[in-house]
Amino acid sequence: MSEQPLFKVTIDNITIEVPAGTTILNAARKIGGEVAPPAMCYYSKLEGSGGKCRTCLVEVSKGSEKDPRPMPKLVASCRTTVMDGMEVKNITSEKVIDARNGVVEFLLINHPLDCPVCDQAGECHLQDLSYNHGKESTRFEFQKRTFKKHDLGPYIQLHMTRCILCYRCVFTADQLTGKREHGVLDRGDHAEIATFIEKSLDNEFIGNVIDVCPVGALTDKTFRFKNRVWFLKPMDAHRDCPTCSGKVTLWNRGDEVYRVTARKDQWGEVEDWICNTCRFEKKNTGDWVIEGPRLIDRHSVIAQGHYAGSIGMHQPKETFEAVHNGRKPKLLMDIHSVSNVNRPEITLSKLDRPAHSTDFKPNQD
Ligand code: SF4
Ligand code: FES
């Protein structure tokens, strides 16, 4: 195959050369840092992904050397390839920031405020986006979408209300399991991950849908409500697995393995797909050869926790009444009675030690 010519592209005033056919998003990722637009649906390892969520919109202020006219509208950087001499604005464009704020507001229209009870909290891309681009209140006055519950078996929990319809899990099931068993049914605000997801569940690699889901719509039932990710210590480990590479990240507390995930790169993408046996059934440290602590970005809430020391009975000073000039909340929910996950005789907030899996009821749906 002949070598691709190199195109010069300038993104946020930084010029690099990339092979023709590279998307703006991947060119920006080569520069790295803030210059790389956020991506909620694009996934470099999944063919056909991208073009769904619009979080990666950028402004093309110069089309190319040959045709320097700017593009009239913002474009999805994951689906637009670079041209020679192209100039792109991401964080340096007010239009982009404004549009991204709008996209985040749209994504949150139907997304429930589940973060306090959602297992994805702390590693949720939508949560990160909301911190950077979200509004402090909502303008949406209507009822959010509701769905019939689907039981996906003992390993995977589907919360359709949290789904942002990025299609990543559909591509994962399609491309890893070799047969398309689930998809997105209906369109508009009726669109949902199809019931036929149940049919792909017998595949050894289907657990990877949990890792690709950018929000908490697909989570690991064997880890559900057991701990918060920022209290766990991620360790790189491997085992001799006949099915997959066996290279994983263990999420430990002391000697207890709370969950097993694939290793993820700096863009939050899986490095090597792992099998269900490694992910769900090898929960003893003895099953693994520990390589050492996983390097976590220092900006991540997981790095902030530093595993120990931050756990304890510090009552927050910023109570509802304190920040609302003495006004009492209209409704107070006891999260323990609502979520019903801990053993009834145990009040989690009264424990003078970290909570362990034995404090929770087994196999919560
Ligand atoms: S369940 Fe998750 S991965 Fe699948 S479409 Fe919804 S948000 Fe994307
Ligand atoms: S990442 Fe480009 S549209 Fe979703």
**Ligand 1 atom 4: the closest Cα is on which residue?**
169
Does one domain contain both 295 and 285?
Answer: yes
How far is Cα 353 from Cα 365, in angstroms, rounded to an integer?
26
Helices (H), 54-204: 94-109, 125-133, 168-176
Average pLDDT of every residue of the chain: 86
Please identify, among 224, 255, 280, the residue that sits at the C-terminal boundary of a domain. 224
- Ligand 2 mean position to 49 CA, how many Å? 8
Arithmetic mean of pLDDT, 14-43: 96
Identify the residue with better confidence: 185 or 309. 185
Q: Which atom of ligand 2 is nearest to the CA of 53?
A: 4
Is the pLDDT at 185 greater than 80, yes or no? no
Number of structural domains (the chain) is 4
pLDDT of 245: 94
Nearest ligand to the CA of 40 is 2
Give residue 66's pLDDT band: very low, low, confident or very high (50, 70, 90): very high
CB 257 within 8 A of CB 283: yes
Q: How many Cβ atoms from other residues are within 10 Å of residue 146's Cβ?
A: 10
**Amino acid residing at 350:** K
pLDDT at 332: 74
Environment class of 300 (CB within 10 Å of its CB; exposed 0-12, middle 13-18, buried 19+)? middle
Tell me, using a 6 A CB cutoff, whether residue 53 lines ligand 1.
no
- CA of 51, nearest ligand number: 2
* Same domain flag for 246 and 217: no
Ligand approaching nearest to the C-alpha of 41: 2
How far apart are the CA of 129 and the centre of ligand 2, in A? 13
Bridge partners (DSSP) of residue 256 are 253
CA 248 from chain centre, in angstroms, equals: 17
Domain check: are 179 and 159 in the same one?
A: yes
197 in any annotated domain: yes
Six-digit token string for 159:
């919360």
State the Cα–Cα distance between residues 42 and 27, nearest whole angstrom: 14
Say yes or no: 203 and 306 in one domain.
Answer: no
Q: Is 78 in the pocket of ligand 2 (CB under 6 A)?
A: yes
Atom of ligand 1 nearest to the CA of 164: 7
Residue 365 lies in a domain: no
Task: State both tokens at 258.
Answer: 């709370």
Whether 59 and 95 have beta carbons less than 8 Å apart is answered as yes
Which tens digits make up the pLDDT trace of 264-277? 999 999 999 999 99
Q: How far is the CA of 337 from the centre of ligand 1 (A)?
A: 28
**Type of residue found at 71:** M
Torsion (CA) 196, 201, 207, 213 in degrees, nearest 10: 10
Indicate if ligand 1 lies below 6 Å from the C-beta of 41: no
- Per-residue pLDDT of 339-352, as tens digits, reads 677 788 887 767 76
C-alpha to C-alpha distance for 258 and 235, rounded to whole angstroms: 12
> Closest residue (by CA) to atom 6 of ligand 1?
163
Mutate which of 55, 172, 193 for ligand 1? The one with the most ligand atoms within 8 Å of its CB, which is 193
171 lines ligand 1 (CB under 6 A): no
Q: pLDDT tier at 126 (50, 70, 90 boundaries)? A: very high
Residue 274 alpha carbon to ligand 1 centre in Å? 18
In the structure encoding, which two tokens stand for residue 164, read together?
Answer: 């942002």
Nearest to 69 by CA among 61, 77, 79, 57: 61
- The domain of 235 spans 226-311
Question: What CATH number is attached to the domain comprising 88?
Answer: 3.10.20.740
Note whether residue 20 is domain-resident: yes
- Domain edge (last residue) among 60, 76, 102: 102
**pLDDT bucket at 288, cuts 50 / 70 / 90:** very high
Q: What is the pLDDT of residue 299?
A: 65
| Any atom of ligand 1 within 6 Å of the Cβ of 107 | no
Domain-located, residue 1: no
What integer pLDDT is reported at residue 306 of this predicted model?
A: 47
Ligand 1 center–CA 276 separation, angstroms: 19
Instruction: Give the model's pLDDT for residue 40.
Output: 96
Q: Does residue 87 form part of some domain?
A: yes
Which of 224, 247, 272 terminates a domain? The answer is 224
Q: Is the CB of 257 under 6 A from ligand 1?
A: no
Residue nearest to atom 7 of ligand 1 (CA): 163
